[in-house]
Amino acid sequence: MIEPLNSLLSQWNLDVVHFKKETISPNIYRISTDKAVYFLKNRIETSLLERYEEYSLTQYLQHKGLNVETPVLTKGNDPFVEKESGFYSLYGALEGETKEEFPISMSLVFSIGEYLGLLHKLMSTYKSREEPIEWNVFFYLESWRKERHHTQVGAWAKKNFFQYDEVLSNYKEMPLQFIHSDFHLKNLLIVDNKMKGLIDFERIRKAPRVVDVAYFITGILRKQAGEGKLLFIEEFLKGYENKNGLTPHEKDCLPYLILILLLQYSFFYEQRGFTNVVSKLLTCIDTLQKRRDYVETFKTF
């Protein structure tokens, strides 16, 4: 349950007489005053150091000219208010609208690729305040497989999923840098069919940058309608390359990282009882593993 809004918002000197709240999700409130619109977000599974890191990183990105969501400082010059129920941060609304779901156009997916390429280029030069948490996709996959080896997805993976020892070896050689780690459609701000901003830096992690790339592509494979999904992936990667080229090593690893993330989604939805979603995901993985043009897609752009 969110703390009383009057008490929280007074920490930012907001005139509580003139705001109205609209519940967007259990942990996010839209706050409208007579002067501006804000979003109040309750960060639960996080730490004090991570909240300071979010402010430091997003301020750095804004200084470099990137339009990103950054916390508004309180009267005490902190980027959050800490309560028993978690950390509360206030964010000014940015220009643009999020898209709730696919499909998206070719021109938009190219623009998204460009934005992510520029984001990674800037994040690669950011100096962190503290040693960040690493997002190791292989560690999480092995945790899922160990925990759910007896389930439908666990048995399917043991029989049908590719052997990824070589991919893991290549992955370990890739440099780590800050990534967004939650780069999906609902966190992207769109203006006139182009990506103009990014929100929700709660889960910033260190990992090879190609993980962010793979994460977004899983959304295309899971939700983009129609048969031409590989063409959308190619267009997204062309946009990325226009701002920040991937190495041959990363291109070789990328199609297999995508399969690994899709398998993790399969375990996740199986755990929650969404059998229809699981069936579609496993079919998607199986189809991609058998398509010769799937891996080639990542070598041609």
pTM as predicted: 0.93
Task: Kindly state the percentage of the chain with pLDDT values over 70.
Answer: 95
2-11, 223-232, 250-259: lowest mean pLDDT where? 2-11
Same domain, 280 and 251: yes
Query: At residue 8, does pLDDT exceed 90?
Result: no
Q: Are residues 139 and 179 in the same domain?
A: yes
Residue-wise pLDDT tens digits, 168-186: 999 999 999 999 999 999 9
Claim to verify: residue 85 and residue 117 sit in the same structural domain: no
Q: Are residues 88 and 180 in the same domain?
A: no
Question: 201 and 64, same structural domain?
Answer: no
Among the three residues 27, 57, 92, which one is the final residue of a domain in this structure? 92
Q: How confident is the model at residue 242 (pLDDT cuts 50, 70, 90)?
A: very high
Confidence band of 120 (pLDDT split at 50, 70, 90) = very high
The CATH code of the domain that includes 180 is 3.90.1200.10
Kindly indicate the confidence band of residue 139, based on its pLDDT and cuts at 50, 70 and 90. Answer: very high
Least confident of 41-45, 189-193, 264-268: 41-45
Domain match, 45 and 174 both: no
Point out the domain boundary residue: 92, 121, 152.
92
Q: How confident is the model at residue 16 (pLDDT cuts 50, 70, 90)?
A: low
Domain that holds residue 71: 5-92
Mean pLDDT of 76-97: 93
74 and 189 both lie in a single domain: no
Q: Do 111 and 87 fall within a single domain?
A: no
79 and 113 inside one domain: no
pLDDT of residue 131: 83
| Residue pLDDT, tens place only, 90-102 | 999 999 999 878 8
Confidence (pLDDT) at 282:
96
Q: Is residue 97 part of a domain?
A: no
Is 100 among the domain residues?
Answer: no
The whole-number pLDDT of residue 1 equals 42
One-letter-per-residue 3-state SS of the chain: CCCCHHHHHHHHCCCCCCCEEEEEECCEEEEECCCCEEEEEEECCCCHHHHHHHHHHHHHHHHCCCCECCECCCCCCCCCEEECCEEEEEEECCCCECCCCCCCCHHHHHHHHHHHHHHHHHHCCCCCCCCCCECCHHHHHHHHHHHCCCCHHHHHHHHHCCCCHHHHHHHHCCCCEEECCCCCHHHEEEECCEEEEECCCCCCEEECCHHHHHHHHHHHHHHCCCCCHHHHHHHHHHHHHHHCCCCHHHHHHHHHHHHHHHHHHHHHHHHCCCHHHHHHHHHHHHHHHHCHHHHHHHHHC
Q: Is 53 in the same domain as 183?
A: no
**Is 124 part of any domain?**
yes
Task: Note the pLDDT of residue 179.
Answer: 97
Q: Which of 64, 92, 120 is the last residue of a domain?
A: 92
Whether 149 and 263 share a structural domain: yes
Same domain, 64 and 139: no
Residue 36: band (very low, low, confident or very high) from pLDDT cuts 50, 70, 90? confident
Number of domains within the chain: 2
Residues 282-301: tens digit of each pLDDT? 999 999 999 988 988 887 76
